[in-house]
Copies of this chain bind each other. A is one copy, B any other.
Amino acid sequence: MRKLTMLKAINEALRQEMRRDPKVYVAGEDVGIFGGCFGVTAGLIEEFGPDRVRDTPITESAIVGSSVGAAATGLRPVAELMFIDFIGVAMDQIFNQAAKMRYMFGGKAKVPLVLRMPCGAGGSAAAQHSQCLEAWLMHVPGLKVVAPSMPYDAKGLLISSIRDNNPVIFIEHKFLYGVEGEVPEESYTIPLGKADVKKEGKDVTIIATMAMVHRALEAAADMEKDGISAEVVDPRTLQPLDNETIVNSIKKTHRAVIVHEAVKFAGPGAEIAAMIAEEAFDYLDAPIKRVTAPFTPVPFSPPLEKEFIPSKEKIASAVKALLQE
């Protein structure tokens, strides 16, 4: 099958949905002729024009809030925050307006809105341009949170997100943009809320998200040589979370290691661990480990940043420690 980078897969999903439904439009800073800070929206303004590919000023509250208003009145905005790190200036519109409108109005509103936002470290962009903040968004009733690791998933999940009638946070790890994978040309959907077992295994379950899925797969491949068979589960959607797939895997392996790039304390893995400790306790043979970034802002200097991001070695050694329990 044809291979595409994740960046191109996302671009294709946007293009196909914009062709299908004239109510879908894109908005954000520099999404037009500039093509977005990472190039995700490149070429869209040429095909769809400036009314449907709307360059905005630097005004994240208004980007999100105008999307909420537009969505509640019948359009289907796909807005971009240039970095997830910028949600702090738009958070109210995300969590108090977009997420709660339907409930507060007694079910009488619909807010079909996608907020795309790149996350993650790896390019020395430092503390305000490298964060993983999915945990905050997972904690908000009314939001869905999607976080793909593969080009195929990204395309299918983005199309589902655009068609979903709820506000969906679509998180793109920026160091996955260049990752290639097979992606069908035609439009397709992947249901939100379904995890994917990226590799089967029997000794341990590694639940990993976004860029860490790749590190986990590398660690699993390395460990294979030592006779350790790791299963790698990618939740793909963090809200709703597919508890069933995770629990089923643990029923088989009896051990869980959770890997994410966000800092550990009160991070996304906390919920996954807590869920396992509540729902799969009887199948566990060992403590639940989390492999994450240390509890610090993201440092700038390359060696420090490298140390910040969980490595395949750290994942493997956590697994091995667990197997010794």
**Interface check A148, CB cutoff 8 A:** no
Q: Known contacts A278-B290, A281-B288, A297-B103: does B88 contact A265 (CB below 8 Å)?
A: no
Q: Give the Cβ gap from A103 to chain B, nearest Cβ, in Å.
A: 4
Quick one: which of A69-111 are within 8 Å of B by CB?
A: 85-89, 91-96, 99-100, 103-104
- A241: chain B residues at CB < 8 Å are 265
- Check B276 against A270 for contact (C-beta < 8 Å): no
- Check B103 against A94 for contact (C-beta < 8 Å): no
Q: Give the Cβ gap from A228 to chain B, nearest Cβ, in Å.
A: 20
- A94: chain B residues at CB < 8 Å are 88
Q: Which of A133-141, A162-170, A204-212 contacts B (4 or more CB under 8 A)?
A: A133-141
- Check B86 against A139 for contact (C-beta < 8 Å): no
- A295: chain B residues at CB < 8 Å are 141
**Partner of A139 from B88, B239, B266, B296 at Cβ < 8 Å:** B266
Q: Give the Cβ gap from A240 to chain B, nearest Cβ, in Å.
A: 9
Closest B residue to A92 by CB, please name it: B88
Q: Give the Cβ gap from A280 to chain B, nearest Cβ, in Å.
A: 8
**Interface check A273, CB cutoff 8 A:** yes
In the bound complex, how far is the Cα of B296 from the Cα of A100, in angstroms?
9
**Interface check A58, CB cutoff 8 A:** no
In the bound complex, how far is the Cα of B275 from the Cα of A269, in angstroms?
11
- A273: chain B residues at CB < 8 Å are 270, 273-274, 277-278
- Check A239 against B268 for contact (C-beta < 8 Å): no
- A268: chain B residues at CB < 8 Å are 266
**Partner of A276 from B265, B277, B279 at Cβ < 8 Å:** B277
- A286: chain B residues at CB < 8 Å are 281
**Partner of A274 from B88, B133, B269, B279 at Cβ < 8 Å:** B269
Q: Give the Cβ gap from A83 to chain B, nearest Cβ, in Å.
A: 11
In the bound complex, how far is the Cα of B294 from the Cα of A142, in angstroms?
12
- Check B100 against A96 for contact (C-beta < 8 Å): no
In the bound complex, how far is the Cα of B270 from the Cα of A95, in angstroms?
20
In the bound complex, how far is the Cα of B296 from the Cα of A287, in angstroms?
31
**Interface check A267, CB cutoff 8 A:** yes
**Interface check A282, CB cutoff 8 A:** yes
List 16 extra interface pairs beyond A89-B92, A141-B263, A271-B274, CB under 8 A: A96-B127, A100-B127, A104-B127, A104-B128, A135-B139, A139-B262, A139-B265, A141-B265, A141-B297, A270-B271, A270-B273, A273-B277, A277-B287, A278-B287, A281-B287, A282-B287
Interface CB pairs A-B, < 8 A, 30: A61-B89, A87-B91, A88-B92, A88-B96, A89-B92, A96-B127, A103-B297, A104-B127, A133-B139, A135-B135, A135-B266, A136-B139, A138-B266, A139-B265, A141-B263, A239-B265, A241-B265, A266-B270, A270-B270, A270-B273, A270-B274, A273-B277, A273-B278, A274-B277, A274-B288, A276-B277, A277-B287, A278-B289, A281-B286, A281-B287
